[in-house]
Amino acid sequence: MINCGEFYNLLAENGIGFFTGVPDSLLKDFCGYILDHAGDDRHIIAANEGNAVALAAGFHLATGNIGLVYMQNSGQGNAINPLVSLVDKEAYSIPVLLVIGWRGEPGTKDEPQHAKQGKITIKLLNTLGIPSAILPDNLDGAKAVLKAAIDTMKAKSVPYGLVVRAGTFEAYQSKTVTKTSYELSREEAIKIIVRRLALQDIVVSTTGKSSRELFEYREELGQGHNRDFLTIGSMGHSSQIALTIALSNPSREVYCLDGDGAVIMHLGGLATIGLNGPKNFKHIVLNNGSHDSVGGQPTAGFNINIPAIAMACNYKVAFHADKQTELEEKMQLLKSVEGPALLEVKVAKGARNNLGRPTIGPIENKNAFMRFLQDS
């Protein structure tokens, strides 16, 4: 495995000193090292991967130097537009070093939402005309591959992709910690929310630990999972899934359990919700100020006013809770008001170590959920 500090220094020796991207579980140790050692002027955690490519492009335009963009391979989709219309050699021809975590690598065990992306990760880079290589898991090999990447980017002024397998980087514990002093954990908040839902209510939960915690609480209660659509992939899109479900089921309440990182990733979705204005749409944002599922790196969640943004996007009401009694009161209020309505719940960072994963597959979840919508 590669020591994160040694790889960071290797990048510096090759003129790479600006970093941006969206954190990834396979890259969390390297991302943690960047967070600790690159100053705020040299590291930006982006809202989404397309933004990150644009940030690296702007850095190159301003300095002439090459920026590094890190992402999970699921983020390739978000990045395609600026990759082909901004930095591509047939557009502005801007070199960018892409470091891509290879979730769902063929032949390895991973979660179902990563299977397709794993199969097409390198194929997609080839289709985009982006030269690439798999980063070796040793420093000597990494030196050779990085040199080839730098030489290619400088000679041709094009992006280059380094694909990173699981276990490539040694463990590193970041010293930059998002401090939270909130009373509730996310899981405790989810339990309070679920206990106040009616049997006919519909739930769409965001990707990551929120869906896992929701699944486990349903198991604890001995309830089925047909009322919940567990969005195990497509980060940032749960609210749009919930929106059309709400518009199609106007007589039933639809609750979207969202996260701060997911909301920020596609913030424009709030404007679409406000514009369409379903009265039965209830948006609950569990805000812990971090990308909790992929290493805990900070988001802008604690630095922005999510309820105020929702109101500016034409939500009818938006409010906040961060204590148990307050959440119980606000849930009762949320149930009684006309939507679109948003409740931001600020919660502590972290999850229990023995948190499991859904034991049903995505197609089984989809079919049961659709039957629930049709039969109720």
- Which CATH number fits the domain that encloses residue 59? 3.40.50.970
Q: Does 113 score more than 80 pLDDT? A: yes
- Residue 297: per-residue pLDDT: 86
Peptide bond into 340 cis (omega under 30): yes
Nearest CA-CA partner of 69 in 40, 85, 92, 45: 45
Find the domain containing 37 and state its range.
Answer: 4-164
257 and 348 part of one domain: yes
204 and 71 part of one domain: no
Q: Position 87: which residue type? A: V
Q: What letter does residue 244 receive in the DSSP assignment?
A: H
Strand partners, 346: 287
Least reliable range by pLDDT among 28-32, 169-173, 353-357: 353-357
Compute the average pLDDT of residues 169-197: 90
Report yes or no on 175 lying in a domain.
no
Report yes or no on 371 lying in a domain.
yes
Report yes or no on 237 lying in a domain.
yes
Report yes or no on 177 lying in a domain.
no
The pLDDT confidence band at residue 37, using thresholds 50, 70 and 90, is very high
CB atoms under 10 Å from CB of 150, counted, come to 19
243 and 126 part of one domain: no
Q: Does 212 score more than 90 pLDDT? A: yes
Report yes or no on 179 lying in a domain.
no
Compute the average pLDDT of residues 46-55: 97
Structure tokens at 61: 């335009």
- Residue 15: per-residue pLDDT: 95
- Residue 311: per-residue pLDDT: 98
Residues whose CB is less than 8 angstroms from the CB of residue 320 and which lie 6 or more positions away in sequence, other chains included: 307, 330, 343, 344, 345, 346
Least reliable range by pLDDT among 175-189, 212-226, 248-262: 175-189
155 and 202 part of one domain: no
Query: What is the total count of domains within the chain?
Result: 2
209 and 255 part of one domain: yes
Nearest CA-CA partner of 164 in 66, 72, 81: 72
Report yes or no on 169 lying in a domain.
no
241 and 317 part of one domain: yes
The pLDDT confidence band at residue 310, using thresholds 50, 70 and 90, is very high
The pLDDT confidence band at residue 355, using thresholds 50, 70 and 90, is confident
Portion of the chain with pLDDT greater than 90, in percent: 86
The pLDDT confidence band at residue 232, using thresholds 50, 70 and 90, is confident
Of 164, 197, 226, the residue at which a domain comes to its end is: 164
251 and 141 part of one domain: no
236 and 112 part of one domain: no
Report yes or no on 176 lying in a domain.
no
Of 131, 164, 197, the residue at which a domain comes to its end is: 164
- Residue 3: per-residue pLDDT: 97
Strand partners, 48: none
Residues whose CB is less than 8 angstroms from the CB of residue 190 and which lie 6 or more positions away in sequence, other chains included: 210, 213, 214, 217, 257, 286
354 and 209 part of one domain: yes
Report yes or no on 178 lying in a domain.
no
- Residue 34: per-residue pLDDT: 96
Sign of the alpha-carbon torsion through 187, 331, 279, 198 = positive
- Residue 203 · residue 196 · CB < 8 Å: no
Compute the average pLDDT of residues 305-332: 97
256 and 152 part of one domain: no
Residues 323, 245: Cα–Cα separation, whole Å: 30
Nearest CA-CA partner of 267 in 30, 51, 11, 2: 51
- Residue 376: per-residue pLDDT: 66
Nearest CA-CA partner of 285 in 193, 197, 166, 222: 193
71 and 213 part of one domain: no
145 and 54 part of one domain: yes
CB atoms under 10 Å from CB of 262, counted, come to 27
251-287 confidence digits (pLDDT tens): 999 999 999 999 999 999 999 999 999 999 999 999 9
